[in-house]
């Protein structure tokens, strides 16, 4: 049976690792700032490695679920990183990057790792923490067919749907396109609510027209669960992560020489919220931030 490693036991990664372990796979993790997750996994039979190099030396497949491409590169290329550990052990390793990363970085890193017999694939995540806990995430994959066939049984422990989008980098590209839509919805909803409030339209009236119409969606419903009910747990995705993702979208468009005015405008709105120190707030709270700039309260 494949020996699995996991780096990045955050809100999504902790549940994914839990489901891998529940699928019967030997699991090794590295220390995380949230010791509670590590302790819970080791109590259920997981092992803990001292660093990423030690992890790589003990595993056949390592999943990485960290905030940015910069973090991925640190985990892989650091002095005690995955590349160093795999080379020292002399075995071929598969690294699965489940982060929302820059596709250009993903492809460059994959090409570099190939020279050491290490395969990098991307399996970006679609879904919520609730779906992660239930093992029902989407795995948005960029990989060759042979590697995906080997990975599929492990992916199935935490993914309800595996979507093969093409070669390495395609998964991260498709995830960024998804995030472009999502973060744009958040920006549009926030500005629409503020315009409406200025014109005397309450969020409740707004919702009575949109809900159940062609403009309704799962994203809309969780966003408005916060707007109407002030339920912060309805849509747990921070503005810091949202700002990073839409910044990556704009950078990808620039790299492809696409004039992406909308992507840059959305990126600027999220960046302005981050500049105010609002990064730890969740995406629906952008509606309050935009309204407050016009001396309005939506609630």
Express each pLDDT in 253-297 by its tens digit: 999 999 999 999 999 999 999 999 999 999 999 999 999 999 999
Give residue 29's pLDDT: 97
Q: Whole-angstrom Cα distance, residue 233 to residue 223?
A: 10
Which structure tokens are listed for 250?
A: 């704009």
Per the residue annotation, which of 80, 161, 175, 259 is the catalytic one? Answer: 175
- Tell me the pLDDT of the chain averaged across its residues: 96
Find, among 182, 193, 187, 183, the residue nearest to 217 by Cα: 182
> What average pLDDT does range 208-217 have in this prediction?
98
On the question of pLDDT at 208 being above 80, the answer is: yes
Three-state SS for 216?
A: coil
Q: Quick check: is 175 catalytic?
A: yes
Q: Whole-angstrom Cα distance, residue 166 to residue 89?
A: 30
Confidence of residue 189 (pLDDT cuts 50, 70, 90): very high
Q: Whole-angstrom Cα distance, residue 2 to residue 205?
A: 54
Q: Whole-angstrom Cα distance, residue 266 to residue 173?
A: 18
For helices 11-22 and 35-43, angle between their N-to-C axes, nearest 10 degrees: 0
Contact present, 57 and 34 (Cβ < 8 Å): no
Contact present, 171 and 107 (Cβ < 8 Å): no
Residue 261, classified by CB atoms within 10 Å of its CB into exposed (0-12), middle (13-18) or buried (19+), is exposed
Confidence of residue 80 (pLDDT cuts 50, 70, 90): very high
Residue 262, classified by CB atoms within 10 Å of its CB into exposed (0-12), middle (13-18) or buried (19+), is middle
Q: What is the DSSP string of 69-94?
A: HHHHHHHHHSTTSHHHHHHHHT---E
pTM: 0.93
> What average pLDDT does range 176-185 have in this prediction?
97
For 13-57, the pLDDT digits (tens) are 999 999 999 999 999 999 777 789 999 999 999 999 999 999 999
Confidence of residue 299 (pLDDT cuts 50, 70, 90): confident
Longest CA–CA span in the chain (Å) reads 68
Which structure tokens are listed for 203?
A: 């969020």
């Amino acid at each position: 049976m494949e020996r699995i490693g996991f780096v990045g036991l955050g809100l999504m990664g902790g549940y994914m690792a839990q489901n891998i372990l529940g699928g019967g796979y030997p699991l090794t993790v590295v220390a995380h700032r949230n010791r509670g997750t590590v302790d819970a996994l080791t109590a259920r039979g997981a092992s803990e490695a001292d660093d990423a190099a030690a992890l790589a030396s003990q595993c056949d497949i390592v999943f990485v679920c960290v905030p940015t491409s910069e973090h991925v590169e640190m985990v892989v290329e650091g002095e005690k990183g995955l590349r160093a550990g795999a080379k020292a052990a002399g075995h071929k390793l598969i690294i699965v990057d489940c982060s929302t990363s820059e596709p250009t970085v993903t492809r460059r890193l994959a090409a570099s790792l190939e020279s050491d017999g290490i395969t990098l694939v991307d399996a970006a995540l679609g879904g919520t923490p609730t779906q992660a806990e239930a093992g029902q995430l989407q795995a948005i994959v960029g990989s060759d067919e042979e590697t995906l066939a080997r990975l599929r049984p492990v992916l199935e422990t935490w993914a309800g749907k595996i979507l093969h989008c093409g070669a390495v980098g395609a998964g991260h590209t498709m995830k960024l396109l998804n995030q472009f839509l999502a973060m744009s919805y958040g920006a549009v909803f926030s500005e629409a609510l503020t315009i409406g409030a200025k014109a005397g339209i309450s969020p409740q009236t707004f919702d009575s027209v949109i809900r159940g119409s062609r403009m309704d969606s799962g994203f809309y419903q969780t966003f408005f669960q916060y707007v109407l009910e002030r339920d912060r747990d309805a849509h747990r995705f921070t503005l810091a992560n949202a700002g990073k993702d839409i910044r990556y979208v704009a950078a990808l468009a620039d790299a492809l020489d696409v004039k992406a005015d909308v992507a840059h405008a959305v990126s600027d709105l999220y960046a302005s919220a981050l500049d105010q120190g609002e990064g730890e707030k969740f995406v629906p709270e952008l509606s309050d931030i935009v309204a407050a700039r016009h001396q309005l309260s939506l609630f």
